[in-house]
Chains A and B, each alone.
Chain A
Amino acid sequence: MHFHLHCFIQTCEIGLKLLKLSYLVNDVFSSPLTFAVFKPLPGREQFHGLGSMYCRGAAAVILTYDVNSLQSLTELEERFLALTDSASADCIFAIVGNKVDLSDDCSLAPDENRPGKSGASCGSKVRKQVRAEDAIALYKKILKYKMLDEKDVPAAEKMCFETSAKTGYKVDYLFETVFDMVVPIIVRQKAEGPPQTVDITDYKPAKRTKSGCCA
Chain B
Amino acid sequence: MSVKAFKLVSAVEREMLMGDKNYINIECIECCGKNLYIGTNDCFIYHFLLDEKVSTAGKITFAATKQLHKYLGLKKPVSELKAASALTRLLVLCDNTITLVNMINLEPVPTGARIKGAVTFTLNENPVSGDPFCVEVCIISVKRRTIQMFMVFEDRVQIVKEVFTPEQPCAVAVDGYYLCLALTTQYIILNYNTGVSQDLFPYCSDEKRPIVKRIGRQEFLLAGPGGLGMFATVDGISQRAPVHWSENVIGAALCFPYVVALDDEFITVHSMLDQQQKQTLPFKEGHILQDFEGKVIVATNKGVYILVPLPLEKQIQDLLASHRVEEALVLAKGARRNIPKEKFQVMYKRILQQAGFIQFAQLQFLEAKELFRSGQLDVRELISLYPFLLPTSSSFIRSHPPLHEYADLNQLTQGDQEKMTKCKRFLMSYLNEVRSTEVANGYKEDIDTALLKLYAEANHESLLDLLVSENFCLLTDSAAWLEKHKKYFALGLLYHYNGQDAAALQLWVKIVDGDIQDSTRSDLYDYIVDFLTFCPDQELVWKYSEWILQKNEEVGVQIFTKRPLEEQEKNNINPDDIISCLNKYPKARVKYLEHLVLERKIQKEKYHTHLAVLYLETILQLKSVTTDNCTETTELLLKLRSLLQKSDLYRIRFILDKIQGTDLHMESAILYGKLEEHEKALHILVHELKDFHAAEEYCMWNSENRDSQYRRRLFHLLLSVYLTPGTSDCALVMAAVDLLNNHAAEFDAGLVLQVVPDSWSVQLLSPFLAGAVRQSIHTKRMTQVALGLAQAENLIYKHEKVKQKGAPILLSDKKVCQVCQNPFCEPVFVRYPNGSMAHTHCAANRHLNSNVTHHSPSSSNQT
Contact = CB atoms under 8 A, between A and B. Distances in A.
Contacts of A46: 225-226
Contacts of B226: 14, 46-47
A52 B202 CA distance: 11
A64 B623 CA distance: 94
Interface string A1-28: 0000000001111101110000000000
A50 B241 contact: no
B240 interface: yes
Interface string A48-91: 01101110110000000000000000000000000000100000
B244 interface: yes
Nearest to A55: B237
A34 interface: yes
B238 A54 contact: yes
B230 interface: yes
Interface in B305-352: none
Contacts of A11: 241, 275
A194 interface: yes
Contacts of A163: none
A203 B786 CA distance: 103
Nearest to B232: A53
Size category of the B interface is 20 to 34
Contacts of B243: 12
Contact of B200 (A14, A34, A53): A53
A49 B241 contact: no
Contacts of B274: 10
B237 A197 contact: yes
A122 to B, nearest CB: 37
B500 to A, nearest CB: 52
Contact of A14 (B228, B232, B240): B228
Interface in A140-176: none
B673 interface: no
Given A10-B274, A12-B244, A52-B201, A47 B225 contact: yes
A18 B275 CA distance: 11
Which of B225, B241, B244 neighbours the largest number of chain A CB atoms within 10 Å of its CB?
A: B241
Which of A10, A34, A53 neighbours the largest number of chain B CB atoms within 10 Å of its CB?
A: A53
Nearest to A194: B235
A152 to B, nearest CB: 25
B224 interface: yes
A49 B201 contact: yes
Given A10-B275, A12-B275, A18 B240 contact: yes
A12 B224 contact: no
Interface string B188-228: 00000000000011100000000000000000000011101
B236 interface: yes
A16 B236 contact: no
Given A10-B275, A12-B275, A53 B230 contact: yes
B356 interface: no
A56 B241 contact: no
A57 B202 contact: no
A57 B235 contact: yes
A56 B235 contact: yes
A155 B242 CA distance: 36
Contacts of A17: 241
A53 B241 CA distance: 10
B239 interface: yes
Contacts of B275: 10-12
A89 B297 CA distance: 44
A176 B148 CA distance: 50
A18 B225 contact: no
A49 B204 CA distance: 12
Nearest to B274: A10
Interface string A183-215: 000000000001001000000000000000000
Nearest to A51: B201
Contacts of A47: 225-226, 228
A34 B239 contact: yes
Contact of B241 (A12, A52, A57): A12
Given A10-B274, A10-B275, A12-B275, A50 B236 contact: no
A47 B228 CA distance: 10
Given A47-B226, A50-B230, A53-B200, A10 B240 contact: yes
A53 B235 contact: no
Nearest to B224: A50
Contacts of A86: 236
A10 B272 CA distance: 10
Nearest to B203: A49
Interface string B144-182: 000000000000000000000000000000000000000
Contact of B228 (A50, A56, A57): A50
A13 B276 CA distance: 11
Nearest to A193: B235
B240 A53 contact: no
A54 B241 CA distance: 9
B235 A50 contact: no
Contacts of B239: 18, 34, 197
B495 to A, nearest CB: 50
Given A12-B275, A14-B228, A50 B242 contact: yes
Nearest to B222: A53
Nearest to A199: B237
A74 B228 CA distance: 29
B182 to A, nearest CB: 14
A126 B201 CA distance: 42
B237 A50 contact: no
B201 A50 contact: yes
Given A10-B274, A11-B275, A13-B244, A53 B225 contact: no
Contacts of A16: 241
A53 B243 CA distance: 14
Contacts of A34: 239
Contacts of B238: 50, 53-54
A35 to B, nearest CB: 11
B237 A49 contact: no
B596 to A, nearest CB: 64
A18 B240 CA distance: 7
A202 to B, nearest CB: 15
Interface string A33-50: 010000000000011011
User: Which 4 residue pairs spanning A and B have beta carbons closest together?
Assistant: A10-B241, A53-B238, A12-B241, A49-B201
23 contacts: A10-B241, A10-B275, A12-B241, A14-B226, A14-B228, A16-B241, A17-B241, A18-B239, A18-B241, A34-B239, A47-B225, A47-B228, A49-B201, A50-B228, A50-B230, A50-B242, A53-B237, A54-B238, A56-B236, A56-B237, A57-B235, A57-B237, A197-B237
Given A10-B241, A50-B228, A53-B200, 20 more contacts: A12-B228, A12-B244, A12-B275, A14-B226, A14-B242, A18-B241, A47-B225, A47-B228, A49-B201, A49-B225, A50-B201, A52-B201, A53-B230, A53-B232, A53-B236, A53-B237, A56-B237, A57-B237, A86-B236, A194-B235
Interface of B: 200-202, 224-226, 228, 230, 232, 235-244, 274-275
